[in-house]
Amino acid sequence: MNYETLTIDTSKNIAYITLNRPERLNSFDMKLGQELYKVLHEISSKPEIKAVVIKGTGKGFCGGGDVKEMHSTKDKPRFLRDLTKAIHKCVIEMRTMEKPVIAAVNGAAFGAGLSLTLACDIIISVKEAKFGTAFIGIGLAPGCGTQFFTKIVGYQKACEYILTSKVFTAQKAAEIGIVNRVVDSDELDDAVEEFVSKFRKLPPIAVGKAKMLINKSQDNDMITHLELESLTASKSAGTYDFKEGVAAFVEKRKPVFKGK
């Protein structure tokens, strides 16, 4: 299927989504929000897809909400309500799908673009990339991302960066725990492939359940989470991949997982 605001390509069990509004720094309009959700939702139900990569066309990853559209719309509160809800659907889909989602940050990630980045499970950025929450700078309360940002960097740092609309570098993003790896621009694709090559070989059911547990751990109390871990481990023990994994361990060979 052809999309107006993004492209989708599947190669060797990995889905590559490329935001494709370079003339607007790949910023979110309603169309991008709707199309990105549709693609993510379809991918989440495909067991053959083992990981997802999101990147941007041109100089930016995602510039946030489309400010020109915000300016031109007559009913600004309604527009922001609809736009943030569309972005939220994408974020929820990314966090709840039991597949790793990797952000390949090739340039600026501001506002909702930073929120989209933070919704990913692994973030790889080029050195030249700039980050910022951006909302305050245009007189707007943050429409998304404050929870993710605060959980990563802590309360005081979140206040510093969000309340002052502070712009920061990829290196600073790595220092405060947002970015996993910073690379030269010509090394971005190779760094991404280093991760996805691992996910091609790892047991996708176990990986997906581990992602779910990591997300649940941020809100569950200890006793509730220990019980969830026990139940999830027990269920995964019924898979072919677990039988293959323990057999390979005992036989001192590399396992061949099949995702079932």
Do 217 and 148 fall within a single domain? no
- Region 71-95 average pLDDT: 95
> In terms of domains, do 140 and 237 share one?
no
Nearest C-alpha neighbor of 28 from the set 69, 72, 76: 69
CA 50 to chain centre: 14
- Which amino acid, 246? V
pLDDT value of position 238: 96
Residues forming a β-bridge with 7: 18
Q: Are residues 140 and 12 in the same domain?
A: yes
What's the mean per-residue pLDDT of the chain? Answer: 96
pTM value is 0.94
- Cβ neighbors of 55 (< 8 A, separation 6 or more) are 16, 17, 18, 19, 61, 103, 104, 105, 106, 192
**Do 224 and 110 belong to one domain?**
no
Q: What is the average pLDDT across 113-130?
A: 97
Q: How far apart are CA 78 and CA 62, in angstroms?
A: 22
Domain span at residue 240 reads 202-251
Kindly give, in sequence order, each residue whose CB lies less than 8 Å from that of residue 260, ignoring residues fewer than 6 positions away: 205, 239, 240, 241
Taking only the tens place, the pLDDT of each residue in 131-160 is 999 999 999 999 999 999 999 999 999 999
* Separation CA 119–CA 102 (nearest Å): 9
Q: In angstroms, how far is CA 243 from the centroid of its own chain?
A: 31
Residue 187 to residue 131: CA distance in whole angstroms: 19
In a domain, 259, yes or no: no
Residue 54 and residue 138 in one domain: yes
Is residue 158 included in any domain, yes or no?
yes
Residue 100 tokens read as: 């790793």
Measured distance CA(48)–CA(67) in Å, rounded: 37
Residue 1 included in any domain: no
- Whether 256 is in a domain gets the answer no
Q: Is residue 212 part of a domain?
A: yes
Residues 112 and 128 in one domain: yes
d(CA 176, CA 166): 13
Q: Are residues 196 and 97 in the same domain?
A: yes
Specify whether 36 is located in the same domain as 158: yes
CA distances for 199 relative to 23, 50, 99, 129, angstroms: 33, 6, 9, 25
pLDDT of residue 2: 87
* pLDDT per residue as tens digits for the range 223-236: 999 999 999 999 99
- Please give the distance of CA 12 from its chain centroid, rounded to a whole number: 20
CATH of the domain at 72: 3.90.226.10
> In the chain, how many domains are there?
2
Q: Are residues 98 and 195 in the same domain?
A: yes
Residues 106-118 have a mean pLDDT of: 96
Residue 1 confidence (pLDDT): 74
Do 238 and 172 share a structural domain? no
Distances (CA, A) of 8 to 20, 34, 120, 152: 10, 14, 17, 29
Q: Are residues 123 and 235 in the same domain?
A: no
Residue 192: what pLDDT? 97
Tell me the pLDDT tens digit for each residue of 34-58.
999 999 999 999 999 999 999 999 9
The share of the chain scoring above pLDDT 70, in percent, equals: 100
Task: Look at residue 185 in the predicted model and tell me its pLDDT.
Answer: 95
Residue 187: per-residue pLDDT: 97
Same domain, 56 and 102: yes
